[in-house]
Amino acid sequence: MSERQTLVRSLHDIGLAAWFGGNLMGAVGLNGAAATAKDPNERLKLASAGWAKWAPVQWAAMAVHGIGGVALILGNKARLLGQPEARTNTWIKLGVTGAAIASTVYSGILGAQQAKHADEPVEGATEESAASSGELTSVQRQQRIMQWVTPALTLVLIVLTAQQGEQQRPGAGLLKSAKERFLR
């Protein structure tokens, strides 16, 4: 493949970087900072406001990543047909991307449910207090887990992307596959 794909690779990677980094910073920084508010009734309100501001950027990052990913698949059709490792990696990446999208959407739904309880006292964005309602406690317990799922899945995507880059090195995959077929 002699054609450069700088733009679509950049879209793919920048979107993924923002998606991963924003969610990791939100779980560690935003939720952690909100938990330090002196007034327990302000903690969930602050976290909810921060996540609401991040949401449009996150959706844009996911879209940019998706556009770049689709363009890379279309631009690498021949390599994917001739290189089984790259094809397998692509299928795995599609599955993990779907799971990351689902976890992002579900976390957003949980966040919207939390925002409805923004005036309730809490220990943190994902930690209830003794005065928290049963509904909020349930949502926070789910969000406590979900806040780590999207960063974990997008981290896997970063590793799979690196693996695909390695598969394009001379002597990797395509040439190896041709050599293996020849030696059979």
What local confidence, expressed as pLDDT, does residue 182 receive?
Answer: 55
Predicted confidence (pLDDT) at residue 170 exceeds the cutoff of 70: no
pLDDT band at 173 (very low <50, low <70, confident <90, very high): low
* 92 compared with 165, residue with greater pLDDT: 92
* 110 compared with 182, residue with greater pLDDT: 110
What local confidence, expressed as pLDDT, does residue 110 receive?
Answer: 97
Can you tell me the distance from the alpha carbon of 14 to that of 19, in angstroms, rounded to the nearest whole number? Answer: 8
DSSP 141-177: HHHHHHHHHHHHHHHHHHHHHHHHHHHTSTTSTHHHH
Structure tokens at 123: 């220990």
Mean pLDDT calculated for residue range 42-69: 96
The structural domains of the chain, with segments of one domain joined by +, span: 6-183
pLDDT band at 166 (very low <50, low <70, confident <90, very high): confident
What local confidence, expressed as pLDDT, does residue 19 receive?
Answer: 98
Can you tell me the distance from the alpha carbon of 38 to that of 77, in angstroms, rounded to the nearest whole number? Answer: 56
What local confidence, expressed as pLDDT, does residue 1 receive?
Answer: 44
Q: What is the pLDDT of residues 112-125, one digit of tens each?
A: 999 999 999 999 99
Segment holding 122, helix H or strand E: strand 122-124
pLDDT band at 172 (very low <50, low <70, confident <90, very high): low
Q: Please check whether residue 41 is in contact with residue 129, taking contact to mean a CB–CB distance below 8 angstroms.
A: no
Q: Please check whether residue 43 is in contact with residue 37, taking contact to mean a CB–CB distance below 8 angstroms.
A: yes
Percent of the chain scored above 70 by pLDDT? Answer: 90
Dihedral of CA atoms 72, 84, 20, 140 in degrees, nearest 10, equals 130
Q: What is the pLDDT of residues 137-164, one digit of tens each?
A: 999 999 999 999 999 999 999 999 999 8
What local confidence, expressed as pLDDT, does residue 159 receive?
Answer: 96
Q: What is the pLDDT of residues 4-36, one digit of tens each?
A: 889 999 999 999 999 999 999 999 999 999 999
